[in-house]
């Protein structure tokens, strides 16, 4: 087995794709694409499934399907729909510096729109378990999507990007790879640690945050936006991780759970400076015409993270699960 099992279908787009991947049946022309919600479950699951062929694949799917022309054509149609929606919804801001500086403004007191603020102050253990299960779709392959930008950078930007990624992958130590640390966190919280295990539980809002990374990473034309995405992640990681580490201590989680976020508090405070000054700065010094793309990457990241936060918080404040199916239903 080289990867997780295929997920359950969620609609007219994902059903024929999953049948094709599972049974080798011909892929029909997509139906309902023009009417599909670009942020909805069906489109986002279909896109996630197609992207996963470029990571670890699926247990039932031959590795050769990664470059199947029909699957690539479907992926491109979905990407264009997703990108069109993002470009329509993201504010038009050509300044990467302005977009990034806005992320540095920490609210005074408790931020009612922030998941990390909620978990720090009021979160319950079951809510943190749900949060970790959803974040596992990225954190168990943490930094992998950003690696795609390295061959597309030069000089100072490339050197700095490699330096940051080296830390993400444990600086040469397997036990310190950030994906491994997150798996340890999950085990400490009583969750399953298999790659992709919680895909069927993840709502569209969570899938979209991961799909954005894959979309930007797989297209050279979007390299500026991927750098913007990476900068947004690193800029917001340290303060958010500090709150999440505090939440885990309040909830009585073990050392392994705490270590993941403790590591990010220190490391990402340094990474944020390197990424802003050397990765973003080096890229724009080399290719200044990419500045609007960098800003788009920052703002699109914020848009999708805000959508996910709104979904999580509205569900939890009503005392209900934010997942599509309960954690117990997926093992």
CA atoms of 83 and 218, how far apart (whole Å): 13
Instruction: With respect to residue 48, please indicate whether it lies within any of the assigned structural domains.
Output: yes
What SS3 state is found at 5?
Answer: coil
What is the value of pTM for the model shown?
0.96
How many domains, in total, are found in the chain? Answer: 2
CA atoms of 91 and 204, how far apart (whole Å): 22
* Residues 218 and 303 reside in one and the same domain: yes
CA atoms of 3 and 274, how far apart (whole Å): 34
CA atoms of 148 and 127, how far apart (whole Å): 33
Instruction: With respect to residue 135, please indicate whether it lies within any of the assigned structural domains.
Output: yes
Model pLDDT, residue 107: 62
Cβ(234)–Cβ(271) under 8 Å?
Answer: yes
* Residues 33 and 64 reside in one and the same domain: yes
* Residues 57 and 104 reside in one and the same domain: no
* Residues 205 and 312 reside in one and the same domain: yes
Model pLDDT, residue 268: 64
* Residues 267 and 292 reside in one and the same domain: yes
* Residues 116 and 47 reside in one and the same domain: no
* Residues 68 and 101 reside in one and the same domain: no
Instruction: With respect to residue 1, please indicate whether it lies within any of the assigned structural domains.
Output: no
CA atoms of 283 and 242, how far apart (whole Å): 29
Model pLDDT, residue 265: 85
Instruction: With respect to residue 5, please indicate whether it lies within any of the assigned structural domains.
Output: no
**Residue 30 belongs to domain spanning:** 14-89
Model pLDDT, residue 254: 92
* Residues 74 and 193 reside in one and the same domain: no
Which of 70, 89, 108 is at the close of a domain?
89
Model pLDDT, residue 104: 79
Instruction: With respect to residue 4, please indicate whether it lies within any of the assigned structural domains.
Output: no
Instruction: With respect to residue 134, please indicate whether it lies within any of the assigned structural domains.
Output: yes
Which of 89, 111, 130 is at the close of a domain?
89
* Residues 109 and 81 reside in one and the same domain: no
Instruction: With respect to residue 38, please indicate whether it lies within any of the assigned structural domains.
Output: yes
**Cα distances (Å, whole numbers) of residue 42 to 31, 58, 90, 186, 207:** 12, 18, 22, 27, 10
* Residues 82 and 131 reside in one and the same domain: no
Q: Which CATH number belongs to the domain containing residue 104 in this structure?
A: 1.20.910.10
* Residues 54 and 187 reside in one and the same domain: no
* Residues 26 and 117 reside in one and the same domain: no
Q: What are the residue ranges in the chain where pLDDT is below 70?
A: 1-2, 106-110, 268
Cβ(323)–Cβ(330) under 8 Å?
Answer: no
241-246 contact pairs (CB < 8 A, 24+): 241/116, 241/265, 241/268, 243/114, 243/116, 243/117, 243/119, 243/120, 244/116, 244/119, 244/120, 246/120
């Amino acid at each position: 087995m080289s990867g997780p099992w295929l997920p359950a279908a969620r609609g007219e787009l994902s059903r024929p794709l999953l049948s094709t991947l599972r049974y080798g049946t011909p892929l029909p022309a997509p139906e309902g694409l023009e009417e599909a919600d670009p942020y909805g479950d069906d489109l986002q699951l279909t896109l996630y499934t197609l992207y996963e062929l470029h990571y670890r694949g699926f247990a039932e799917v031959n590795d050769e399907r990664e470059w199947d022309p029909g699957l690539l054509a479907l992926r491109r149609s979905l990407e264009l729909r997703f990108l069109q929606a993002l470009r329509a919804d993201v504010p038009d801001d050509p300044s990467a510096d302005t977009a990034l500086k806005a992320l540095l403004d920490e609210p005074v007191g408790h931020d009612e729109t922030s998941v990390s603020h909620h978990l720090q102050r009021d979160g319950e253990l079951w809510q943190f378990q749900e949060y970790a299960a959803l974040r596992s779709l990225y954190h168990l392959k943490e930094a992998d999507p950003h690696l795609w930008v390295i061959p597309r950078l030069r000089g100072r930007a490339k050197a700095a990007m490699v330096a940051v990624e080296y830390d993400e992958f444990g600086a040469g130590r397997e036990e310190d790879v950030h994906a491994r640390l997150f798996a340890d966190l999950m085990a400490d919280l009583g969750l399953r640690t298999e790659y992709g295990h919680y895909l069927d539980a993840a709502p569209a809002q969570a899938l979209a945050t991961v799909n954005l990374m894959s979309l930007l990473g797989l297209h050279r034309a979007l390299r500026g936006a991927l750098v913007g995405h990476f900068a947004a992640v690193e800029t917001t990681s340290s303060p958010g991780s500090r709150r999440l580490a505090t939440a885990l201590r309040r909830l009585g989680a073990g050392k392994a759970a705490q270590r993941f976020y403790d590591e990010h508090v220190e490391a990402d405070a340094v990474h944020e400076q390197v990424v802003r000054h050397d990765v973003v700065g080096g890229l724009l010094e080399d290719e200044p015409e990419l500045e609007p793309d960098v800003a788009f990457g920052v703002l699109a990241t914020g848009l999708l993270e805000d959508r996910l936060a709104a979904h999580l918080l509205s569900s939890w404040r009503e005392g209900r699960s934010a997942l599509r199916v309960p954690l117990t239903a997926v093992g």
